[in-house]
Chains A and B, each alone.
Chain A
Amino acid sequence: MSPRPAPDASTQGPRAEQPRARRLETPPVFSPGSFCHPARQETVAALGLPHPHPWQPTEEDWHLPENWEAILRAAFQDRLRKYRSLRVFMDICARCGACADKCHFFLGTGDPKNMPVLRAELLRSVYRGEFTLAGRLLGKAAGARTLSKTIVKEWFAYFYRCTECRRCALFCPYGIDTAEITMIARELLLELGLGANWILEPVANCARSGNHLGIRPQVFQEMVQALCDDIREITGIRLTPPCNEKGHEVLFIAPSGDLYTEPGVYTFMGYLLLFQAIGLDYTLSTYASEGGNFGLFASAELAAKVNAKIYAEAGRLGVKWILGGECGHMWRMAHQYMDSMNGPAPAGLEVPRNPVTGTVFRHAASTKMIHIAEFSADLLLHRALVLDPARNDHLIVTFHDSCNPARAMGLLEEPRIVLRAACNHFVEMPENTIRERTFCCGSGAGLNGDEIMALRMQGGLPRGHALRHVQRHNGVNTLACICAIDRNSLRPLADYWAPGVSVAGAHELLGNALVLPGEGERTTDLRREPLPPGGAP
């Protein structure tokens, strides 16, 4: 594990800014813990990406292909043709500075180039220098630069220090979305064979075995079985979740992280308990066993490839609609990209309809996929679930809005309905750090590798401070979330910034509280920790 920053070095964030740093002239520094490991040559080759080659960010020579400038120029031009967003964002920034201190990486590191406006300017200056008349004529006076190898390094440094959280876009008067710029910049780097291993490795796995970790079908099945065994011991109920079976109503897809890491597994148990409680007619799939999509953090092309299995499998199994688990970027994908990339949904699919309450989810009329929080919230609003929230009485819960559901979907109330129903003690973090203004966990967009732990803890500063605040003032001991990356990344964040707070998925807490027909008396929660006294029904 890489070195973590000393706490007081990180709290310096907003004060430690270096106003005297010449704008774009300081070369990027690759200090330990601040950069992603480069993608391995074999991985890049396996994905059929151009110019697989060995390289190291810390070395002087990155072994770029001979004609790297021509490649970049052509790729940039191509993206300008394909994306109105890029065109407009390259032209209209007024450098008003409203976005500057909205980025958690700037707040946490104080590095001026982590201000969203300057991050975008890294690309924009090249756009001016290469593609605009004023930039070519006036050069530096117009804020223009021409391509250089240092700029390529700078791009790798700073576009892998952006978690595509879109908080900057919320405050920008023109909606300039640095996340969009980051996504495109990463695509450009990929054209030179430069990628992050933590991102491309899972994509390659996904292409091969259906999920990020490369879990084989048999192992997938065994893991589900192991969770069912735990559920039987805790509740006395035996579950047999169908897998790869045709003829069911719903295909359920979760981020695979929920299957193999703590605390995600408890959330997965929560999903299964919920389905059992209402007798949902569903199936899992080993072929489409990954809702998450690290391709989204690499390029539109890879995102589409990874995602394509979902509709293909829904069509093959003949389900009526798709239900998606708790995951942030998976939902960015499902909500904003899936239909355009791989739609329309297969012919057999219907507009999702809750079989218990009869609610027709018209807001998913085209995609045919709904979020499990929407589904549960609907059940709860119709009082279709029997709950014993006292089982969660030992928990004082707060909720971290993941960036994607909050700012790319507007899924704000649904998880809160679930949490308020499942827990008696629910408090919000300070107003400017939740809902649409939520701060990133610091580890999104594929920046959740261990090698950048130092960077992640710095980026997690604003969230960490907000959490610490409610821990001190409200005794919060549980941070709930609806994202598989969060479930992993918020743990070290909490350990670092607010030790003593544990992390749980919303459906884990719902699973704790759910009273199932025919269940025995529970003595522990899903983590096998004893229930609070008087908690059992």
Chain B
Amino acid sequence: MILSLAAVLGLGLLGWHLGPAQPFLCGVVLPLSSLAVFLAGFSAKILVWASAPAPFPIALTAGQQQSLDRIPPRRLEAPPGPFWVACRLGAEALCFRSLLRNSRARETPEGDLAYQPVPWLWLAAIVFHYTLFLIVLRHLRFVLDPAPWGLGLILSVDGFFHLGSPRLYLSDGGFLLALAFLLGRRLWEPRLRCLSLPGDYFPLLLLAALAGSGLYLRHGGQEDIAALKTFAMGLVSFRPTAPVGAGPAFFAHLAYASALLLCFPCGKLMHMGGIFLSPTKAMPNNSRARRHVNPWNRPREFQSYAQYEDAYRTSMAAAGLPLERPPAEEDAAGGRARQIHVPTSRS
């Protein structure tokens, strides 16, 4: 936690001081190279995952399988085919369905454990991810000219409460609240504190700093929005110009954004892509209906029936079990085998 906090503060200071002095380095080279690292790293990770085979169909079922006609299956929970797998993944990625299942163990007055649903983590996660998405979307207006109609609509809904000038966005508030919740539970819940790594605090703090510097730019600083827009347009059209005249806060903001892009592919943030390749959720529960081929499977050596019969022929004959080869043929002890009646089918 302390470590992550220090790292984030350091990053900001770096951007703040270095930025105005080296506008081209901090305004153009850093963001563009971070973007390149992000894109390369993200796709490399996905490729590495996808290139590893999924040898066994280990779908996780969370409801009734499709079996008998008269038992209604829960296809979303135990997907019988690719279509339902896609639906299940969609529900996971868009609605965080499994998280909605979350419960907390509590002791009842009788001393038993009971489990109550707790929606808070789900709610925070939903707000967090969707507002983050909106905020990223909002940034599009810096690089799209004219801003598309849909974006304008989002902006006006988002700024619905005409509070402050420039208007405060709902999504900013939601994002900060959710962020505070997610960070707070890591700090206050003993269990979470015990399992959190520096790598868990760092992205949260980074996002907090990113949001903070962004808010300052919009509401606190006197940035020249038109100039920033020209700069951003230059970046995306690959005719970059250094953002001359931008304030230190802007460079701090940019440094945070670059750091986020840089650390994305090598940390837990990759969960964004992983969910679609997670075999327990991304495989259908039809393993008995369709054969799933394991590419590295190889024939096994195991005790064959013939070997088994060789090992137990006398005992099997004594039990009246049918044999492929009667005991007399090979039994060295001879005498014993002859006392045993050769079995016939008894059914």
Contact = CB atoms under 8 A, between A and B. Distances in A.
Interface of A: 11, 13-15, 17-21, 23, 80-89, 91-98, 100-102, 107, 112, 115, 117-118, 121, 132-134, 141-143, 166, 169-177, 180, 207-210, 216-218, 220-222, 240, 242-246, 248, 283, 286-287, 300-301, 304-306, 308-309, 312-313, 316, 334-337, 339-344, 359, 361-367, 369, 374, 377-378, 381, 406-414, 417, 430, 432-433, 435-437, 461-462, 465-466, 468-469, 472
B66 A134 contact: no
A362 B289 contact: yes
Contacts of B194: 17-21, 23, 112, 118
B149 interface: no
Given A409-B65, A461-B113, A143 B198 contact: yes
Q: Is the interface of A mostly helix, strand, loop or mixed?
A: helix
Nearest to A179: B58
B289 A141 contact: no
A363 B289 contact: yes
Given A217-B315, A359-B68, A410-B65, A83 B52 contact: yes
A199 B38 CA distance: 46
Contact of B278 (A17, A175, A340, A417): A175
10 contacts: A19-B191, A86-B52, A95-B196, A107-B113, A112-B194, A221-B320, A221-B321, A365-B289, A369-B288, A410-B74
B56 A337 contact: yes
Contacts of A221: 319-321
Contacts of B67: 361, 363, 374, 411, 414
A226 B279 CA distance: 45
A68 to B, nearest CB: 25
A287 to B, nearest CB: 5
Contact of B275 (A170, A174, A362): A174
Nearest to A313: B305
B241 interface: no
Contacts of A408: 58-61
A287 B311 CA distance: 11
Contacts of B68: 359, 361, 374, 377-378, 381, 414
Most chain A CB inside 10 Å of its own CB: which residue of B98, B285, B309, B346: B98
B43 interface: no
Given A19-B190, A407-B61, A98 B288 contact: no
A246 B266 CA distance: 58
A98 B78 CA distance: 21
B190 A17 contact: yes
Contacts of B318: 218
Interface in B59-113: 59-71, 73-74, 77-78, 80, 92, 96, 98-99, 101-107, 110-113
A210 B316 CA distance: 13
B161 interface: no
Given A88-B274, A143-B198, A381-B70, A305 B302 contact: yes
A316 B305 contact: yes
Given A170-B101, A177-B60, A309-B302, A115 B191 contact: yes
Contacts of B304: 312
B279 A174 contact: no
B296 to A, nearest CB: 6
A132 B270 CA distance: 14
A209 B310 CA distance: 11
A245 B56 contact: no
A217 B121 contact: no
Contacts of A101: 104-105, 191
Contacts of B70: 381
Interface in B308-327: 308-309, 311-312, 315-316, 318-322
B156 interface: no
B33 interface: no
B316 A218 contact: yes
A312 B275 contact: no
Contacts of B267: 134
A98 B104 contact: no
Contacts of A244: 316, 321-322
Contacts of A248: 347
B45 A91 contact: yes
Contacts of B199: 142-143
B291 interface: yes
B230 interface: no
Nearest to B308: A287
A461 B105 CA distance: 12
Contact of B191 (A112, A133, A316, A436): A112
Contacts of B268: 91-95
Contacts of B153: none
A436 B62 contact: yes
Interface string B192-212: 111111111000000000000
B105 A14 contact: yes
B316 A92 contact: no
A221 B189 CA distance: 59
B97 to A, nearest CB: 8
Interface string B240-284: 000000000000000000000000001110110011011111000
A287 B105 contact: no
A142 B300 CA distance: 41
Contacts of B185: 97
A82 B53 CA distance: 6
Given A84-B277, A218-B318, A365 B288 contact: yes
A208 B303 contact: yes
Nearest to A125: B197
A339 B287 contact: yes
Given A84-B49, A244-B322, A369-B288, A98 B102 contact: yes
